[in-house]
Amino acid sequence: MKYFPVLILLILSTSLSAQSDGKDLSTSYKFKEVIDKVSRYYVDPTDDEGLTETAIIALLEELDPHSTYIPADELQAAQTSINGSFVGVGIRFQIMKDTLNVVATIAGGPAEKLGVLPGDKIVVVDDENIAGVGLRNSDVREKLMGELGSKVKVEIQRRNADKNLVFNITRDKIPVFSVDSYYMVDDEIGYIKLNSFSRRSHEEVRMALGDLKNQGMKSLIFDLQGNGGGLLGAAHRLADEFLSNEKLIVYSEGRAQPRNNLRSEFKGLFEKGKLIVLTDEYSASASEILSGAIQDWDRGLVVGRRTFGKGLVQRPMGLSDGSEIRLTIARYYTPSGRFIQKPYDDVDAYRKDISQRYLNGEFVHSDSIKMPDSLKFKTLITNRTVFGGGGIMPDFFVPLDTIGNSDYYSDLLRGGFLNTFSYAYTDKNRKDLLKKYPNFKKFKAEFSCDEGFMNEFFGYVQNEDETLEKNEEEYAVSETAIKLRLKAYLARNLWNTNEFYQVYNATNEILNRAIEIIQNKEYEKVNLDH
């Protein structure tokens, strides 16, 4: 059975080659013919649909690393981050001790409107017990998501309540936010963190920009660390907020796709003022389009580490059974003509590229990056040297921060103990915490992970995993990092993701370097388009 995908792929490849040579062969017929013969004559019963899907996956993998197949039953989940919404009840949840816990409700969502609260435990859905039955995240989504306007009945255990509370929730569109956080770093520097490029991203960023400008923002740090991309159109519109005068933002072209130029079209909200884009090795695709355009036009600086290197454009193409392929149809180029895509001839090496960069020392020393002269380009205003052929090279390199790392800290992270303890602590002490810290500003300034708090944490870890003993030496190395993450999780549980980052960013070395560049006047020393 395991040889059939390879066989089918070979047949498809042969047929396609024959077609390209002008031979009169019907690829689709030949493929159908093989499936039919396998189905009728193979020694064991076969799953024809499964074989077909496996062959499609194998075929696309032969093309490039980013052409993919998405089965019909996975398509909705795959589209959620891109569409910027889904249909559900509007909660952020966590499964702890085999119980569904409400971490937060989405503002304006149906659950919040009916009075569901953070800390509630959902134990019954549509008269079916879901507590203590091995619940998984996928099960939760299946039970709580559904058709727009449909109803779901949930029973909730609430702390100090005498009996379960029953809610009949009407499912509605729930926004998926791509702006994780935005706030003022100081009186003049604004900060925005974008996690993806979705249909909502432009609207969200404009709202953030407007709010920050009202607070006195004169310089902006736009954080694309870890942002794997998304919609080309979103990257185009967001870049337009920073670029003026019909500037070329990106162009794409492919064998069946003529050159398509995307230019700035409208008056952006931040066309003037100091601008720094933060990147790392996981910033990809649309993140590279935006950072490349900013760099090529000398509009701002890129600070961090070399980006992923994805310069291929995929088009979603629906299939008759509701599934979808996302097929690479073009390459995209930055305004200076840089092709950002890193080589992918060796697929295995492509997939290991990030870890290889680490082994090569690139994350620690910028001079470990070797770029040939053939990949040198010039920015369009001041003729600064920039590079193509494998991601966006930052103007200011920031090494990977390994201070504070230890095996003990890694074990705590992998086991999820920092996250789960923070939730359990918040759930137990929410009322007292909010009484003592009625707003985030007071919490950020005054809350500390004192000895009593940490002893409770260590006791929790020991109770959850007897094999994970506190290593005093390693804890001393990671103490600051552990306490900071615990405090950040508490901030998220008490308020939201925005507050999480305001705490957690204290040790964000790339962000801190960007702040330094602005505050220490290094920005002015770079030859930019002022």
Residue 137 has a pLDDT of: 84
| Whether the Cβ atoms of residue 341 and residue 353 lie closer than 8 Å to each other | no
Q: Which of 270, 267, 271, 251 is nearest to 259 (CA)?
A: 251
Q: Which of 454, 449, 443 is nearest to 502 (CA)?
A: 443
Residue 14 has a pLDDT of: 46
Distance, in Å, from the CA atom of 483 to the CA atom of 250, rounded to the nearest integer, reads 43
Residue 81 has a pLDDT of: 66
Identify residue 369 by its one-letter amino acid code.
I
Residue 333 has a pLDDT of: 96
At 189, which helix (H) or strand (E)?
A: strand 189-194
Residue 530 has a pLDDT of: 53
CATH 2.30.42.10 domain locations along the chain: 85-175
As assigned by CATH, the class of the 179-400 domain is alpha beta
Residue 25 has a pLDDT of: 54
CATH 3.90.226.10 domain locations along the chain: 179-400
Distance, in Å, from the CA atom of 478 to the CA atom of 497, rounded to the nearest integer, reads 23
Residue 472 has a pLDDT of: 94
- How do the pLDDT tens digits run along the chain, 530 residues long? 444 444 444 444 444 444 444 444 566 778 788 888 888 898 988 888 888 888 889 889 889 999 999 988 788 777 776 777 788 999 888 888 888 988 888 878 899 888 888 888 999 999 999 988 888 888 888 899 888 999 999 999 988 788 899 999 999 988 889 999 999 999 999 999 999 999 999 999 999 999 999 999 999 999 999 999 999 999 999 999 999 989 999 999 999 989 999 999 999 999 999 999 999 999 999 999 999 999 999 999 999 999 999 999 899 999 988 999 999 999 999 999 999 999 998 888 888 999 998 888 888 887 777 777 778 999 999 999 998 878 999 999 999 988 889 999 999 998 889 998 999 999 899 999 999 999 999 999 999 999 999 999 999 999 999 899 999 999 999 999 999 999 999 999 999 999 999 999 999 999 999 999 999 999 999 978 65
How many residues are present in the chain? Answer: 530
Does domain 85-175 sit in CATH 2.30.42.10?
yes
Q: Which of 261, 277, 270 is nearest to 202 (CA)?
A: 270
Q: Which residues contact 328 (CB under 8 A, 6 or more apart)?
A: 63, 64, 66, 67, 254, 312, 313, 314
Residue 285 has a pLDDT of: 95
Catalytic residue from among 196, 285, 291, 422: 285
Residue 529 has a pLDDT of: 62
**Residue 292 half-sphere exposure toward CB, CA atoms < 13 A:** 36
Residue 201, phi then psi, degrees to nearest 5: -60, -45
Residue 69 has a pLDDT of: 92
User: At which residue do the structure tokens 């979103």 appear?
Assistant: 234
Q: Which residues contact 526 (CB under 8 A, 6 or more apart)?
A: 301, 395
3-state secondary structure of 249: strand
Catalytic residue from among 121, 247, 274, 310: 310
pTM, two decimals, is: 0.87
Tell me, yes or no, if 310 is annotated catalytic: yes
